Amino acid sequence: MRLVKQEGGLSLNHADYKEVWAISPLDGRYRGKLDALKDFVSEGALIAYRIEVEAAWLLFLGDQLPKESKDNFKFLFSSEVKDFLQSLLIEVPTTDVLKVKKIEVETRHDVKAVEYFLRDALKNLGASNIELAMVHFGCTSEDINNLAYALMLSDITKNYLLPLMEALTKSVSEAASTYSEIPMLSRTHGQPASPTTVGKELAVFAMRLERQKRRLETLRFTGKMNGAVGNYNAHVIAFPEVDWPGFVKKFLEQNLHLEQNPLTTQIENHDVLVEFVDIIRRFNVILLGFARDMWGYIALDYFTQTVKENEIGSSTMPHKVNPIDFENAEGNLGVANSLANHFAEKLPVSRWQRDLSDSTVLRNLGVMFGHSILAYKSFIYGFSNVKPNERVIKQDLENSWEVLSEAIQSVMRRYGVNDSYERLKKVTRGKSVDRSVLLQVIEDCAELPDDVRKRLEDLTPEQYIGLAPMLAREIKTLKSAL
C-alpha cells in the first residue's frame, strides 16, 4: 500500500487533510459533529481545568488562612496577582495551556507542570515569596486531578449532555402525543399480540429515557483536597490551628460547587463518577433498544423514511433507503457502553492508597462522551425523518383477527365460562384466523348475554387498544411526576 503524501495542492498540515489520517474516528470522520467537545474533554481542556483548580485553591488559601501569626506568616495578594488568578477562573488562554505542555515535556509530570506554570506567571507579576510558596500547598496531584475531572463532568453534563438528552426525549414525547390514536399491532416474542398505539409505544421509551435524564440532573459530583493519603498530613503540620476538613468542605462547596468526599485514600474513590457513568450507560442501553425497535418497525414498513434526493442507500441497489441513522446510533452506543462498563469495573479499584492505573483510563471519558453524543445526534436526526405508515399498520391489523382471542376469552371469563381460554386456544393457536372463526365462537357461547355478544361481534383489532391513547397523551403528566 502506498500512502499519498500530497494531493490536490493540500499539504499534510492542512486541517481537512489531517483529519483523513486521524487514528480515532472521533478526531477524524466525526470531528465536525463533535468539535464543541474539545472545550470539555480534550487534553487542553483538562489542563485548563487543572489551572482553574490551582488558581481557585490559591485564592481561597489567601482569603481564608490567617493573615498574620506569631511566626510572622503574612499572606496578602497584590492586586495584580489577585486579578490574574481570578481571570483564570473565567477563562484560561490557549497560550497558557501550551506553556504548560511545554513545561511538561521537561518535567514529564502533567500536574507539576501546571504548578510551575503558575509560579512562573506569578513571579513575572512580582508575587512575594509566600505567594509563590503557597502555590499547590498541601496538594498531591490527585487533589488537583479529581477536582479538574469533577468540574469537567459537571460542565459537560450541564452544557452538552443534558441539552441533547432533553432534545431527544422531547422529540419522542411530542411524537407520542401526536401518534397517540394510531392503532398498531403489538408483537411479543416477534408474534402478533394485543394491539397498542404507535404513540403509546413511543411514550414507553420517552418515559424510560426521561427517568435516567432526571437522575443525571440531580447527581452531585464529589471531590477531595486532603493530601497525599487523605489525612491532611501536610496541612496539619504546617497550620495545626486550622480546621482542615471544614476548611476544605467550604472551598469545595462554595467555590467549586462540589460535594466533599470526607474519607479517601490518595485518590477520590470514583464511586460517584461511576454512578454518573452508569446513568449514561443506562440511558444508552434504553436508547439502543429503542433504535433496534425503530429499525424493526422500518423493516416492517410501519415507519417510512424521508427520501433525500441526493442521498444514496446502496452503492448497487438504487431503490434502497437504509435506516442508517438508527444503525449508527446502535453502533456508537455499543462502543460507548463498552467503555462505560470498563470504567465501572476499573475506577473504584485502587491498590492500597494509590496506583496510577486509573489515570490513563480517565483520559478515555471523552471517548465515551464522543460515541454517546454521536449516537444521540444520529437518533435525533433519524427520528425526525420518519413517520408512521398508517396504511400498512392498518392492513396488518386487519389481517390479525386472532389477537381478539384474548378479548373474547376475557369477557367470557366474566360471565363464568371457566374453559374460555381452552375454547379460544382450540380454534386460534398456530392457525390463520379470520373474523368468521371468532364470530362462530361467540355465537356458540350460550352463557353470554345478547348485548355482550353483539359488542364482541362488532369488535375489530383496530378498536381493541385499551387505554393506549390516554397513556400516550398523558406522557407529559407522567414525566412531571418523576
Cβ-contact 84, 141 below 8 angstroms: no
DSSP state letters, 165-178: HHHHHHHHHHHHHH
Residues composing the chain: 482
The CATH number of 42-137, from 3.40.630.10, 1.10.275.10, 3.30.420.40, 3.10.20.30, is 1.10.275.10
Which option is the CATH number for 143-389: 3.90.550.10, 3.60.20.10, 1.20.200.10, 1.10.940.10? 1.20.200.10
Three cell numbers at 69? 501569626
CATH class of the domain comprising 401-460: mainly alpha
In which region does residue 302 sit, left (phi positive, over 0), alpha (psi from -120 to 50) or beta (all else)? alpha
- Residue in the structure block whose three cell numbers are 478526531: 27
- The one catalytic residue among 79, 189, 315, 432: 189
Domain edges within the chain: 42-137, 143-389, 401-460
44 alpha carbon, distance to own chain's centre: 22
The span from the CA of 56 to the CA of 44, in Å, is 18
Query: What is the rounded distance in angstroms from the CA atom of residue 29 to the CA atom of residue 395?
Result: 42
CA of residue 459 relative to chain centroid, distance: 44
* Ordered per-residue pLDDT tens for the chain, 482 residues: 555 555 555 555 555 567 778 888 888 888 889 999 999 999 999 999 999 999 999 999 999 987 766 666 778 788 999 999 999 999 999 999 999 999 999 999 999 999 999 999 999 999 999 899 999 999 999 999 999 999 999 999 999 999 999 999 999 999 999 999 999 999 999 999 999 999 999 999 999 999 999 999 999 999 999 999 999 999 999 999 999 999 999 999 999 999 999 999 999 999 999 999 999 999 999 999 999 999 999 999 999 988 776 665 655 666 657 889 999 999 999 999 999 999 999 999 999 999 989 999 999 999 999 999 999 999 999 999 999 999 999 999 999 999 999 999 999 999 999 999 999 999 999 887 899 999 999 999 999 999 999 999 999 999 999 999 999 999 877 777 77
CA distances from 450 to 46, 334, 414, 454, 457 (A): 76, 56, 14, 6, 10
Distance from C-alpha of 24 to C-alpha of 410, rounded to nearest angstrom: 57
What pLDDT shows up at residue 264?
Answer: 96
Residue 70 is predicted with a pLDDT of: 62
**CA quadruple 257, 258, 263, 267: dihedral positive or negative?**
negative
Nearest to 372 by CA among 153, 221, 203, 184: 153
Give the three-class secondary structure for 216: helix
Strands (E), 353-479: 386-388
User: Helices 420-428 and 405-414: crossing angle, nearest 10°?
Assistant: 160
| Residue carrying C-alpha cell 405508515 | 389
**Whole-angstrom distance, CA of residue 166 vs CA of residue 34:** 18
Specify the 3-state DSSP secondary structure of 333: helix
The torsion of the CA quartet 196, 200, 202, 206, rounded to 10 degrees, works out to -150
In this structure, are residues 165 and 283 in contact, taking their beta carbons and an 8 Å threshold? yes
Contact 313, 401 (CB under 8 A): no
Q: What is the pTM of this model?
A: 0.92
Amino acid at 225: M
Within 8 A by CB and 6+ apart from 133, the residues are none
Provide the pairing of β-strand 222-223 with 259-260. parallel
By C-alpha distance, which of 223, 69, 245, 54 is closest to 131? 54
DSSP letters, 306-326, are PPPTT--S-SS-TT----HHH
Tell me which of 11, 24, 69, 314 is the catalytic residue.
Answer: 314
Q: What is the pLDDT of residue 66?
A: 78
Q: Kindly calculate the radius of gyration of the chain based on its CA atoms and give it in whole angstroms.
A: 31
Cα separation of 180 and 201, whole Å? 9
Q: What are phi and psi of 453, to 5 degrees?
A: -60, -40
Assess whether 314 carries a catalytic annotation.
yes
Q: b or e along 372-398 (b: 16 or more beta carbons within 10 Å of the residue's beta carbon)?
A: bbbbbbbbbebbebbebbeeebbebbe
- Tell me, what's the pLDDT at 320? 57
* 69 in catalytic set: no
**Residue 317 CB-density burial (10 A; 0-12 exposed, 13-18 middle, 19+ buried):** exposed
